[in-house]
Structure 1
């Protein structure tokens, strides 16, 4: 089992990020879907664990009951062409489909990714806290001393491209060059994390368990490497799309999500495989 905490600093407020993240997820979902692969949205409903056990997770979201209300989503990811060749060769038919359940009780969110074939031998858990700081808080997830020793911390600077592939880098999604017309934020120069105002941080605690003899270390390391790449690329887009989401309300976002679900159902059956997770050949 590996435990990483990725800290993604952004030049916006915690309140703004809620809309920014939901808008960007909808946009990225369309960019990642096509040719039989991609994202299928099964459920996108409000939840209130104090009133109903519907959408109740296997373990409490937070012991202090602060995060028992929010939005529950269940998505299915069809990944036949979005994993390395060695995984496609050994994977049994149907095993390259994963389920993602998310309880978004903002500013806290838990995402659990599982696979029907692997069952209890595989899970990926991402717990995120959103704080108005520059990534300096040391234990926002209230980890035990034992888990703190196992945790590896990675600070993600969205202007740094070292963890990205060449195909990920786009001229119109470069935080070091983008300037928002609506907010005046950007471009982000050297040392921007120390000077940005407003500023906030996504603290993403990622835990992976993959039990398969001979492959556990290789797969767990691969997944963690991909998580860093995905977080970096996604948040570059979040910032560079500021002028697209800045004026949207939460009602606008929910309407966009409904429209996106319909588009994904159609798009998944058409066209070519798309998206940043496709293996380069």
Structure 2
């Protein structure tokens, strides 16, 4: 099992991020659904987590046939390219579990636990890991303004170094922007990835970790550059958006054209 903690710093308050995250998830889902592939929202309902309190539970299925490398599609058995996601958003804590119950069962799991905290990535052990897990953990800082991205994924209107918010005056994010940003908060994302398949385990775990870093980088670039679209929305607005998005995803998946902005490797 690989354990990495990604720390994503953003020029937002923790309260703002809650709305921005949910808006961006809904938008990104639409950008990756169509032609029989993409994201199916099975459940989206209130929950009461035994440890972290009240929140929102979601259950999604990712239909990934066209989003994985061709060589995997050729050898993949039926059912192996569907990932099931359960998520408990008990903000400011979130837990997401991805599995492949129809094929790999207990041989595959990807768990992302996130704490959202004020400050600039300065909490050393926000997840309260024991000594053994701390030895395994590698901390990776993500700078949405300066970290390189795949040129094929670049969009000028989603470039934090060029975006300036009309509503808040924040941005562009250039140079050592994290040192002067106000407000500032950090997403502490602890990723635990396990893939038990003889001959492929090391390769797939490495690819899975690479994919998560790219995903977190691209998602938070978009979240910041979409700031003027979601800033000022209420949680009531977000729940209405999620209901509308679910209907749109069902229609796009069944009737729309395939989209491939989210890829799991080459």
TM-score, normalised by the number of residues in structure 2: 0.97
Match of 2:2 in 1: 2
Counterpart check, 1:40 vs 2:30 = no
Tell me by how many angstroms 1:35 deviates: 1.2
2:109 to 123, 131, 137: 123
Contact 2:32 2:39 in 1 (8 A): yes
> 2: CA distance between counterparts of 1:124 and 1:279?
14
> 1: CA distance between counterparts of 2:133 and 2:172?
37
Tell me by how many angstroms 1:280 deviates: 8.0
CA offsets 1:165-189 (integer angstroms, 9 cap, x no match): 1121100011001000000000111
Match of 1:143 in 2: 129
CA offsets 1:27-71 (integer angstroms, 9 cap, x no match): 000000011110000000001245xxxxxxxxxxxxxx3x12100
2:145 to 159, 164, 174: 159
Contact 2:146 2:175 in 1 (8 A): no
Question: How do residues 68-217 of structure 1 correspond to structure 2 at under 5 angstroms?
Answer: 68-116=53-101, 117-162=103-148, 164-217=149-202
Contact 1:83 1:277 in 2 (8 A): no
Structure 2 unaligned runs (5+)?
none
Contact 1:8 1:156 in 2 (8 A): yes
Contact 1:100 1:111 in 2 (8 A): yes
Greater CA drift, 74-83 or 164-173: 164-173
Match of 1:249 in 2: 234
Evaluate the alpha carbon distance shift between residue 186 and residue 229 of structure 1 in structure 2; reply closer, same or farther with a 3 A threshold: same
Contact 1:98 1:113 in 2 (8 A): yes
> 2: CA distance between counterparts of 1:267 and 1:191?
41
Bigger strand fraction:
2
Counterpart check, 1:15 vs 2:1 = no
> 2: CA distance between counterparts of 1:212 and 1:34?
30
Contact 1:69 1:105 in 2 (8 A): yes
Structure 1 unaligned runs (5+)?
51-64
The alignment covers a number of residue pairs equal to: 265
CA offsets 1:137-169 (integer angstroms, 9 cap, x no match): 11000001110110111100001342x211211
> 1: CA distance between counterparts of 2:137 and 2:48?
31
User: Alpha carbon RMSD of aligned pairs, Å?
Assistant: 1.3
Deviating 4+ runs (over 4 angstroms): none
CA offsets 1:54-94 (integer angstroms, 9 cap, x no match): xxxxxxxxxxx3x1210000000000011122322221112
Question: How do residues 16-31 of structure 1 correspond to structure 2 at under 5 angstroms?
Answer: 16-31=16-31
Match of 1:58 in 2: none
Contact 2:68 2:265 in 1 (8 A): no
Contact 2:66 2:260 in 1 (8 A): no
Contact 1:81 1:279 in 2 (8 A): no
